[in-house]
Homo-oligomer: A and B are copies of this chain.
Amino acid sequence: MGILRLAHVDTRTPDLELSTAYYTEIIGMNVVERTGDEVYLKCWDEETHHSLRLRYNARTGMDLFSFLVETEDDLHDLERKVERYGCPVTRVSKGESVGQGESLRFEIPSGQTMELVADLDKPGGLLGKRNPAPVPPPGMTGIAPPRIDHMLINAEEVGEAHAFFTQVLGFRLTEQLLDANGHKLGVWLERSHSPHDIAIVNGPNGALHHFAFWLDDWDHVRKAADILAFNGVQIDQGPTRHGVTRGNTVYFFDPLGVRNEVFTGGYQADPDFPTITWTEDNFGKGLFYYENVISQRFLRMHT
């Protein structure tokens, strides 16, 4: 089946304690493991080892993002395809990465480092697998999203990035933003039958725009905004609705300036989903349906 979903995002922070405090106390993730200058965190409903790695580094940024593939055969098949496209692939052996086995790493055309891995440790989620409660215990700390959902990266050449993600990696295009000449300015891509597992929008190569946590409901979006405001976290945009994906959302920044999102809603994106096309003159509503304005802070600010 190939790539299944976003597995984890690995970021750098110059203040590991502050970032850890934020992701545990305000986002509500749990620390799974600490190793020297690295902290591994997961959400309560995630079966696998972690969905966020924080690494101490003087400069905020993203080390890599990692997608889960179904089988080792898929991994090898994708290795061949990526190399055939012209991207050198590095194999990272079992034991070199915490919480997972062998993986592949390569630089995608827009400059970010991507990882593919089939073998993730699966310690299981909070609720268990035998007569589980359908809800987490009352009194969870912070926003407590059940899981990471998607990410958005920038690319100078969105068309090239799109080609790589669809032709080489097998992503499907759910939505696209075209300029007046029909060139791609943004693409939304999925493997998990959701509106997007990764989106790529015009901007500087190498940049991370945001990563997003899933919430179950519009009321949880409000609760997230309440928790953020209560804790003095600056909200970037929202609560609002996207035209693209239809989802409801709040954007905000972690203490070192990495943009986070909480996201809910959207359609069921089956593999036969016909692509939606946005034109630049209508994209105000595509970006933020209620505001109908293309926020330069939103588009130009990234990690």
Contacts and interface: CB of A to CB of B under 8 A. Distances in A.
B141 A270 contact: no
A287 B237 CA distance: 16
8 contacts: A47-B272, A133-B289, A134-B241, A134-B245, A138-B227, A139-B140, A217-B218, A219-B219
Indicate how many identical chains form the complex.
4
Interface string A201-242: 000000000000010111100100111111100110011111
Interface residues of A, number: 72
B194 A268 contact: yes
Given A194-B268, A265-B216, A47 B274 contact: yes
B243 A225 contact: no
B134 A234 contact: no
Contact of A134 (B68, B134, B214, B242): B242
A290 interface: yes
Interface string A131-151: 111110111111000110000
Interface string A244-287: 01101010000000000000010110111111111100100110
B217 A289 contact: no
Contact of A218 (B194, B219, B228, B234): B219
Contacts of A45: 267
A167 interface: no
Contacts of A277: 129-131
A203 to B, nearest CB: 22
Interface string A1-31: 1001100000000000000000000000000
Interface in A149-176: none
Given A133-B285, A192-B193, A229-B285, 5 more contacts: A47-B272, A131-B277, A139-B139, A193-B194, A229-B241
Contacts of A274: 47, 122, 124, 129
The main secondary structure of chain A at its interface with chain B is loop
Contact of A286 (B131, B214, B222, B241): B131
A51 to B, nearest CB: 12
Given A192-B193, A219-B218, A271 B4 contact: yes
B276 A129 contact: yes
- 6 closest residue pairs by CB, A with B: A219-B219, A134-B246, A131-B282, A193-B193, A135-B226, A138-B227
Nearest to A230: B133
B129 A270 contact: no
